[in-house]
Amino acid sequence: MALIEPFATQLDLQTGKLSPVTRIVQRRLSDMRGMYADTQAENQIIAQEGDRLIYEVYTATELPEEEGQVLHCTTIIYPGKVGDELHMTKGHYHAKRDRGEVYVGLSGEGCVLLQLEDGTVRSVPMGPGTAAYVPPYWAHRTVNTGSAPFSFFSAWPGDAGHDYATIERVGFAKIMVWRDGKAVLVDNPRYK
């Protein structure tokens, strides 16, 4: 296993940004084609306002993706909706399904949606200071349920890996939508 020098990273608790930063991944609406339930709304946003920035992932230091390392980063999800569905991450299973993760809320309001392969879904609300546990076997996707950016810190085992393809294919059985002035979890009409 690689021997890493100890180091610290500065976390901005207001914005969720890390410094120094070596990699910022930006996910725009076009990177998530087909993930929001309302495809018409998705196409309309891209045609009328352009390719909206949905979320960013800040990584301070590239660590080897191997057993024993603890990978970590922050995510900032900007507020907004596609149709009535709230801005969210793509979501994934870990390639090694028996690897868990911890999320710590920094700013804004949101939730983590979790799903087992049999379609069981759970929703865990998050805000500043919430430590949410993502147990092994659960796919996870985070959602901004507020009107400000929602940011959180995450840490997971170095050998977990990421399986995006399964969620791209089947989706989540529930989606978080804005109805009557609040965020509610409803059945996903496009869940396969």
Which one of Zn ion, ligand S6P, none interacts with residue 75, CB within 5 to 8 A by kind? ligand S6P
Cβ 162 to ligand S6P shortest distance, Å: 6
Whether the bond into 20 is cis, omega within 30 of 0: yes
Q: Pick the closer one to ligand S6P by CB: 16 or 183.
A: 16
Cβ 101 to ligand S6P shortest distance, Å: 5
Which residues, numbered 54-73, are part of the site for ligand S6P (CB under 6 A)?
Answer: 57, 73
Phi, psi at 8, each rounded to 5°: -130, 155
Which residues, numbered 87-116, are part of the site for ligand S6P (CB under 6 A)?
Answer: 89-92, 101
Q: Which stretch binds Zn ion (CB under 5 A): 4-12, 34-42, 48-56, 98-106?
A: 98-106
Please tell me the distance from the alpha carbon of residue 126 to that of residue 36, in angstroms, as a whole number.
21
Q: Pick the closer one to ligand S6P by CB: 41 or 57.
A: 57
Q: Pick the closer one to ligand S6P by CB: 24 or 44.
A: 24
Chosen residue from 36, 58, 150, 156 binding ligand S6P by CB under 6 A: 156
Starting at the edge strand found earlier in the chain, the sheet holding 150-157 runs 23-28, 53-59, 70-77, 150-157, 101-107, 131-134
- Which residues contact ligand S6P by CB under 6 A? 57, 73, 75, 89-92, 101, 140, 142, 154, 156
- Which residues contact Zn ion by CB under 5 A? 101
